[in-house]
Amino acid sequence: MRASAEIHRSARLEQARQSIVLLKFSAVSVQASNQALRRPGARSGTIQSELCRLIGNRLADARPACRVIIEPGIQPKVRADLNVRVPDLAVTCAAWEPDEKLLREPLLVIETLSPSNKADTWANVWSYATIPSVREILVLHSAEIRGELLRREEGGSWPANPVTLGRDDMVALDAIDFVVPLAACYRTA
């Protein structure tokens, strides 16, 4: 009788453990879904698609093992068990499986900032900075032709402030050997 009770207790504990794992995954999914629902308008989408095309073309020619992904799930190191972010674009050169839910080892993360999502965007940027593989973070403004670029320094730290890019500046993304005029990212916007 005692062995039967122990087996039943073990089964209940395993069910409880699986329920906790499911709840954690659900919380992550809800956070990612809520983030996706706050997406900005068409101008941000055109900036995103134009830059995706430019980067994708460059990667196809120069770094075919790498790929640019639209709105991938990325897991920062801060509260990783409950934290998934969804940037506008990210680039990785890591091997992947088609059914993976989260992007592994992003090198470059890109966000489009609109006046209505400024606080959320910058909170995400600081979360991306916790990911060891991320070398650069580019924030493009949707209300004007302007960008801000953060590049991880040699010792692994991040600069206190991003480099501000204006209409006539070049965007140099060293992580993927990519250079383009900032204005080209806004060609269809």
Reported as a single tens digit per residue, the pLDDT across 43-85 is 889 999 999 999 999 999 999 999 999 999 998 876 667 788 9
Model confidence pLDDT, tens digit, residues 164-182: 999 999 999 999 999 999 9
Residue 46's Cβ-count burial label (10 Å; 0-12, 13-18, 19+) is middle
State whether 84 and 73 are in the same domain: yes
Model confidence at 36, pLDDT cuts 50, 70, 90, reads very low
User: Which residue is it, tokens 């062995």?
Assistant: 3
Quote the mean pLDDT of the chain. Answer: 84
State whether 166 and 148 are in the same domain: yes
The pLDDT of residue 26: 44
**At residue 53, what is the residue type?**
R
Percent of the chain with pLDDT over 70: 77
Q: What residues does 181 pair with on adjacent strands?
A: 170
State whether 124 and 175 are in the same domain: yes
Least confident residue range of 1-15, 106-120, 164-178: 1-15
Decide if pLDDT at 139 tops 60: yes
In Å, how far are 7, 65, 96 from 79, measured between CA atoms? 34, 30, 23
What domain count does the chain have? 2
Cα torsion at 42, 113, 149, 70 (round to 10°)?
-50
State whether 33 and 5 are in the same domain: yes
State whether 20 and 71 are in the same domain: no
Nearest to 74 by CA among 38, 44, 102: 102
The pLDDT of residue 39: 56
Model confidence pLDDT, tens digit, residues 81-111: 778 899 999 999 999 888 888 998 999 999 9
Decide if pLDDT at 13 tops 60: no
> The CATH number of the domain where 105 resides is what?
3.90.1570.10
The pLDDT of residue 97: 84
State whether 12 and 26 are in the same domain: yes
Average of pLDDT values for 122-149? 95
Domain that holds residue 56: 40-186
State whether 78 and 26 are in the same domain: no
Nearest to 126 by CA among 169, 165, 170, 76: 76
Decide if pLDDT at 20 tops 60: no
User: Are 80 and 104 in contact, with CB atoms under 8 Å apart?
Assistant: no
User: What's CA 57's distance to the chain center, in Å?
Assistant: 20
The pLDDT of residue 42: 86
- Higher pLDDT: 145 or 13? It is 145
Q: Please state, in angstroms and rounded to a whole number, the distance separating the CA atoms of residues 127 and 111.
A: 12
Q: Please state, in angstroms and rounded to a whole number, the distance separating the CA atoms of residues 75 and 127.
A: 9
Decide if pLDDT at 16 tops 50: no
